[in-house]
Amino acid sequence: MLRIQTVSGEELVALDLASFLETQPAGMHSVRALKQHLHSICGVSRFRQRLVYLDGEVLLEDDGTLRPGEVQVVLLSFCPPSIVQVTALRDAAGRGISAEVETLLQRPQDPDLGDPAPLFEASKHGQTEVARLLLEANADKDKAAQDGATPLFIAAQEGLMEIARLSLEANADKDKAVQDGATPLFIAAAYGQPEVARLLLEANADTDKAVQDGRTPLYMAAEDGQLEVARLLLEANADKDKAAQDGATPLFIAAQEGLMEIARLSLEANADKDKAVQDGATPLFIAAAYGQPEVARLLLEANADKDKATQDGATPLFMAAQEGQLEVARVLLEAKADTDKAMQDGATPLFIAAQEGQLGVVRLLLEGKADKDKATHDGETPLFIAAAYGQPEVARLLLEANADMDKAAQDGATPLCIAAQKGQLEIARLLLEANADMDKAMLDGSTPLFIAARHGQVEVAAFLQVSSKRCEGMEAFYLSTANPDGHVGGLRPAAPAHFTALLGVFDSKADLSSGQAGEYYYELMGTSSPPLPLETYKMQVKAEASGTKDIILPLRNMQVERARTWLQNRGAGPPNPPDYINYDVKVSSPYYNAPKQAPT
């Protein structure tokens, strides 16, 4: 019989020594076995126990042998270590030097001192035997590094099965998270460690505990394409539709990344195929946006809503059209997606494809009988937007499909008007070749020719002037847009008509009211006068009307020298006009008879 008592004489346990030794593993030293047994009774590790027979004076070493008798146990406190000793234990743990770790623990030394702690270092480097020693020494199994990572977390991240098993056997917190909320199961999913994930799930780790932004272990497995981990999580009844803060589900992220097998697995688990993120985008929508035709097909086969729109009205087909995802668009059209379902502003898939110059998608939509003339709420058609954004090949396709070349926006602007404004010469040429009405004016009376001139689009203006029957035989230096008496509502600087004239463009329908002239004046105040593009300027305007009448051209003081140069170079006007504000240059015109304005 072996009796164990404390220093105070209290008996802790009495053992039948022979029976006790028979229960120990082969090769286990009897003294160590007894210390480990006492650990389970008093909670103090063998490293802090000292044993001595009452009839002797020699301490029993861990590798010693027991005999029947009475043994006293002394429980020691930790010895205060030096910095060198703390560092030595941590370094030995990380390098896996078991003998040195054993020696330091026998001092006895606190196994948790150091940052990071020795157990974290041993776990990080996969030093299983050292980790076992430290856990035997009652090291804190959940003591974390500065970022919150525990020994179990780092083992899960690195796929260290034995370390993870040791930690779980020591009742480590299986769901303790780092600072951003990631748990050991989350990190195992993220790093693709299915065996560790299985071990954690068998230990009933929380399958749905999310990080701060709402991502769960299943979300991470889906995002990173970890099929086996995803399968394990779904088998463990992880929430297949639990979304991140932005509303993205595992199926959504799989659709975005084109992960077919993850998407298939989610759909087989009855994941919600139409669950949308905060802006209304569904898995099918995001598959369209990212160009994932196979995932899109899979979702459509699962009866995903092919026309479900985002908050602003964009459908999967709209997004495919915008991004030029031709194959996804084809898949959607094969599934009979609505070709003309529009955004809140009225923009259709064909409209956005025309705007972005997605030629293949435009062709596909036209073949799918998309409405080629369906306009936005402000009246802009696909042809209009193609002209505005300079997409000549798209414009050509639309014209070949008999798009309405003269359909105007709410302000009366036609495709030719916007082409003129933006300087889209090739599109202007295409429109005129298709017999677009080059004289169709906006609601304010502005024709394409005047618009080109006003915006300084010299090439387009010259092209339209040559093409205009109303400009035959006319060359202009000046065209008044003011009141019949030639004054511009009291405005002294150059009005839009001067700008038009300086471009060498004449358009008899370009007249504006004084109010409109005032509006344009403020715009033109910051506009530099363009170079004169034509070499045949004359002060006389040839017209069908007979005779000429006088008109006044008011000039700003800063324009006097420029005006003098222009006039002298063309042999017209006074050779040396005086330098004072509001100097009036007499110009011949067949249209107006304005009074002279004498200087004051």
At residue 262, the 3 state secondary structure works out as helix
Distance CA 393, CA 145 (A): 61
SS (H, E, C) 70-89: EEEEEECCCCCCCHHHHHHH
Distance CA 260, CA 299 (A): 10
* Domain extents in the chain: 2-75, 141-237, 240-335
Tell me what pLDDT residue 465 has. 75
Strands 11-15 and 2-5: antiparallel
Distance CA 388, CA 420 (A): 9
> If phi over 0 gives left and psi between -120 and 50 gives alpha, with beta otherwise, what is residue 423?
left
Q: Specify the fold of 240-335.
A: 1.25.40
Tell me what pLDDT residue 304 has. 98
Task: Give pLDDT < 50 ranges for the chain.
Answer: 470-600
Tell me what pLDDT residue 446 has. 86
Distance CA 250, CA 266 (A): 8
Return the CATH number of 2-75, one of 3.40.50.720, 3.40.30.10, 3.40.640.10, 3.10.20.90. Answer: 3.10.20.90
Burial of 534 (0-12, 13-18, 19+ CB in 10 A): middle
Tell me what pLDDT residue 469 has. 54
pLDDT tens-digit series, residues 354-382: 999 999 999 999 999 999 999 999 999 99
Length of the chain: 600
DSSP strand E in 368-472: where? none
Q: Residues near 364 by Cβ (< 8 Å), separated by ≥ 6?
A: 326, 329, 330, 333
Domains 141-237 and 240-335 share a fold: yes
pLDDT tens-digit series, residues 461-504: 888 877 765 443 333 333 323 233 333 333 333 334 444 444 44
- DSSP assignment letter at 51: E
At residue 442, the 3 state secondary structure works out as coil
Distance CA 553, CA 559 (A): 11
Distance CA 499, CA 559 (A): 13
The amino acid occupying position 460 is: V
Return the CATH number of 141-237, one of 1.25.40.20, 3.90.105.20, 3.90.245.10, 2.60.120.860. Answer: 1.25.40.20
> CB of 183 within 8 A of CB of 207?
no
